[in-house]
Structure 1
Amino acid sequence: MGQKVNPVGFRIGFIRKPDASWFASKAFYAEKLMEDEKIRVYLDARMAKASVSRVLIERAGKKITVTIHTARPGSVIGKSGTEVDKVKEELKKLTKKEVEVNISEIKKPDLEAKLVASQIAQQIKGRVPYKRVVKQSIAAVMRAGAQGVKIKISGRLDGAEMARADQFKEGAVPLHTLRNDIDYAIVEAHTIYGRIGIKVWISRGDVSVKNVPFLLDRTNRAGAGRPEKMPSRARTR
């Protein structure tokens, strides 16, 4: 029987790096993990309208480097960098450590599953019919160059008495092809009828080994230890 697994976690170490990059001993692992969660919860609340898709956290000694991937870098940075400076100071107070904040701009927001799901949730909150919203979102994703997209919505759709699930799909979304770059996100829309769950899968196509530096290095290291093919010996009679 097939098992469902998060497509993003399934590809970590193959074509995708983890969102947290650090090492800790067993005694301090839980503490740093909870610290990461505090940072993410704070940024989600602080930048709810900044179209933030991903937050990367790296640690080196007592220094924390936070990289924010956003489709609206101007709203995150602020005028003359005032907003990002405030975020940096608030994170220092939260963690009591030195914090560096970097901003990375998302070139194609329609290929980010979290941003697409958040946009759908926002329109559903505004009582826009979910089928119209989903069809518009799928069209925008495919225009942006996606190989395929799948969207699943569940709950009391359009205020129905009984909860149900509805699924829409266009193109190919090969979940078990590890070289295929699939982004996945789940977002909840809080409406007067209750919570509506929105899941989005976006296939960006196959990834070449040359486009993944850490995978290319690993491939080269694996091939370096292989013995060269021995020359065939001529038969003697």
Structure 2
Amino acid sequence: MGQKIHPKGFRLGVIEGWESFWYANDQEFGKLLFEDTEIRKYLKNSLYKAGIARILISRKANQIEVDLYTAKPGLIIGKGGKEVAAIREDLTRKFGKAVQLNVHEETNPEASAQLVAENVAGQLERRISFRRAMKQTVSRALRSGAKGIKIMCGGRLDGAEISRSEWYRMGRVPLHTLRAKIDYGFAEAMTLYGKIGVKTWIYKGDVLPTKKKSLDSLDGTRDKFARDKEDVTGGAGSQENKI
């Protein structure tokens, strides 16, 4: 199962959160979900060169708030903020709602699965050997702090007549461990021989649960409450038991 399922969808509600955060009734849900899809498609196509790692969308009343995490924030913001203002106005005009666009810098692009996949796809389009592209990218990701990485390329690799898939992995990439923080990315390279799909899994360590700690602190609070109650009653309960 871990071989086929989406790593983020598998961990939603456990250690992963949703990339769209809003609430709607049954009549409005489909419409708003379609809007989110169109917003992501528009931003991804128009700002592909900026290297967008994540797009988070939240809604407040009649306002849409979009958080962009990118490796090159300067390309999106532009000189004096002109570019980001133009994008904001275009989105507002297209969807008829006020749009707030927040641009954040991706602090570690070498360990972002989406950016790594797009980087490998770009190398394939420049006719670099897929094996060389995968090995170099894996080495850079491990140097940047990733604990494990796996890259898979599928299609007519090196112009072969029959399509196939090949992968390269270094480090540990757990598939069924729910506490494992797995970043997943996908990109496509348009080559002379057709499209080549690039999938990337990056293991960033385990997310340890904090529930036990909160329960321990709750037990400590209960013990303190019980001791305070005994001090107030003067141990009356124990005297009644003796009688």
How far apart are the structure 2 equivalents of 1:170 and 1:3?
A: 17
Higher helix share: 2
What are the ranges of 5 or more consecutive residues in structure 1 without an aligned counterpart?
Answer: 211-215
Contact 2:66–2:100, Cα closer than 8 Å, also in 1: yes
**CA RMSD, 1 decimal:** 2.6
What are the ranges of 5 or more consecutive residues in structure 2 without an aligned counterpart?
Answer: 228-237
Partner of 1:129: 129
State the shift of 1:208 in Å: 3.8
How far apart are the structure 1 equivalents of 2:117 and 2:43?
A: 18
Q: Give the 5 Å matches for 1:25-104.
A: 25-104=25-104
Report the number of matched residues.
227
Distance change in 2, residues 1:220/1:184 (3 Å): same
Partner of 1:10: 10
TM-score normalised to the size of structure 1? Answer: 0.88
| Higher Cα radius of gyration | 2
Q: Give the 5 Å matches for 1:1-237.
A: 4-209=4-209, 220=214
Contact 2:3–2:175, Cα closer than 8 Å, also in 1: no
State the shift of 1:106 in Å: 0.7
State the shift of 1:94 in Å: 1.3
How far apart are the structure 2 equivalents of 1:219 and 1:22?
A: 30
Contact 2:2–2:176, Cα closer than 8 Å, also in 1: no
Distance change in 2, residues 1:145/1:3 (3 Å): closer
SS in 2 for 1:177: coil
1:149-203 Cα shifts (integer Å, max 9, x gaps): 0111111000011111101110001122222111001111111101101110000
User: Between the two proteins, what is the percent identity of the paired residues?
Assistant: 41
Distance change in 2, residues 1:222/1:159 (3 Å): farther
